[in-house]
Amino acid sequence: MKKAFSLLAAVSIMLTLMCCADSRRGTEPQSLHFEHQPANAVYHWKTVFNPTIYEKEFMKKHDIRRLYLKFFDVGVDNLYDGRGVQPVPIATTIFKDSIKHLGEVEVVPVVFITVEALRLEQPLAERIVNRVEAMCWAHHIAYREIQLDCDWTRETRPLFFELCTEVRSLLRERRKGLSATIRLHQLRDTLPDIEYGVLMLYNTENLRNPDVKNSILSSNVVKEYMRHVEADKHLDFAYPTYEWTLLFKDRKFKGILRPGDDTNVDCNLRHETSNYHEIIEAKRALRPSLKDIGYPSSNIIYHLDSANLSKYTDHEIAEIYRP
């Protein structure tokens, strides 16, 4: 774990030398005109990249041109080296298939940042960018942008905004862009230093609340937020296509039921789905002012998983992707 951020160290050194060589040229502009074109897109949020035949055909059938692929999380760990708790990469995606088998698809590396890692106030920007570049080099992925995902609050907002500014500066030197996920409650603030955001229209309510009917998506919650928000950055929109079963005992949240878990537990179960009609109602609730910032918004499905996607008809998927 001591050298967790040094994945493919030789590759990182090579990339550094290449960047230094580019900087010596001195003739290339450092500014970036980032063009983010609208496209059908989907998230990949598994720790193993090995899409099924169904998932590959799904992408072709629905003309999916952009894949937001989680590369790793940044969490915290005690490294036992005298420095105490430090930010480290965890849950790194393992590639068992090649990106090239998806055809002409743009890959956007996504890095999830925990608030615990942010609170350590350690330098993260360069380590994140270098690690993403090393993984892209190792797996033959050409990327145009990196996306940061973080459930920042008012307390951790300055830390995340500073991280975005630092990462964006590094990416602009490489003529690449930065995006970030945006949760509904985060729309109450100005957005970080990014090219655009992806508004996550899922996990709209607290799953730990025993009185909530469906924490995955409530179009009424979306409508309520839309009455009071504006956006100072372009937004794309991500919709859920997953389901889960939550466990409660004595009205206290106990966890999420995993496949293979014993269903005869002494708990109350609440099964939640991503209801198609709720998704369409949430789309209708979006304020036009959130869409008309420079260019059309993209619709994104969360996430690429045949077990859940197969429960929707082709017509329903087409309607979710419809501009």
> Is the model's pLDDT at 8 over the cut of 50?
no
Query: Residue 297: which of 305, 286, 307, 308 has the closest Cα?
Result: 286
Q: If you average pLDDT over residues 17-25, what whole number do you get?
A: 42
- Grade residue 293 by pLDDT with cuts at 50, 70 and 90: low
pLDDT bucket at 30, cuts 50 / 70 / 90? very low
- Whole-number pLDDT of residue 292: 58
Q: Give the side-chain half-sphere CA count within 13 A for 260.
A: 0
Q: How far is CA 2 from the centre of its chain?
A: 26
Residue 109 has pLDDT above 80, yes or no: yes
What is the rounded average pLDDT of the residues 80-98? 91
Q: For 150-164, write each residue's pLDDT tens digit.
A: 999 999 999 999 999
Distances (CA, A) of 135 to 49, 56, 75, 127, 138: 13, 22, 18, 12, 5
Instruction: Report pLDDT for 289.
Output: 63
CB 206 within 8 A of CB 270: no
- Which range in 20-29, 267-276, 286-295 is most confidently predicted, on average pLDDT? 267-276
Considering the chain, what is the average pLDDT of its residues?
89
Q: How sure is the predictor about 31, in pLDDT bands with cuts at 50, 70 and 90?
A: very low
Please give the pLDDT value at position 20: 44
246-255: pLDDT as tens digits: 999 999 999 9
pLDDT computed for residue 79 by the predictor: 78
Does residue 7 register a pLDDT over 90?
no
Q: Per residue in 297-323, pLDDT tens?
A: 899 999 999 999 999 999 999 999 998
Which pLDDT score, from 0 to 100, does residue 25 have?
Answer: 38
DSSP class per residue in 109-142 = EEEEE-HHHHHTT---HHHHHHHHHHHHHHTT--
Question: Taking the mean position of all CA atoms in its chain, how far away is CA 141?
Answer: 17
**What pLDDT score does 5 carry?**
60
Q: State what percent of residues in the chain have pLDDT above 70.
A: 87
The pLDDT of residue 27 = 38
Distances 88 to 95, 133, 146 between C-alpha atoms, Å? 20, 17, 18
| pLDDT score at 291 | 61
pTM, to two decimals: 0.90
pLDDT above 90: residue 229: no
- The answer on pLDDT for 288 being more than 80 is no
User: pLDDT value at position 18?
Assistant: 45
Reference 267, options 256, 282, 283; nearest CA is 256
- The answer to whether 286 touches 226, Cβ cutoff 8 Å, is yes
What's residue 6's pLDDT? 52
Determine the Cα–Cα distance for residues 180 and 284; give it in Å rounded to an integer.
23
Query: Which are the contacts of 99, defined by CB distance < 8 A and separation ≥ 6?
Result: 49, 105, 107, 139, 140, 141
163-220 residue pLDDT tens: 999 999 999 999 999 999 999 999 888 999 999 999 999 999 999 999 999 999 999 9
In contact, 297 and 236? CB cutoff 8 Å = yes
* 130 pLDDT above the threshold of 50: yes
SS3 state at 199: strand
Domains in the chain with CATH codes: 37-241+273-321 (3.20.20.80)
Strands 268-272 and 244-249: antiparallel
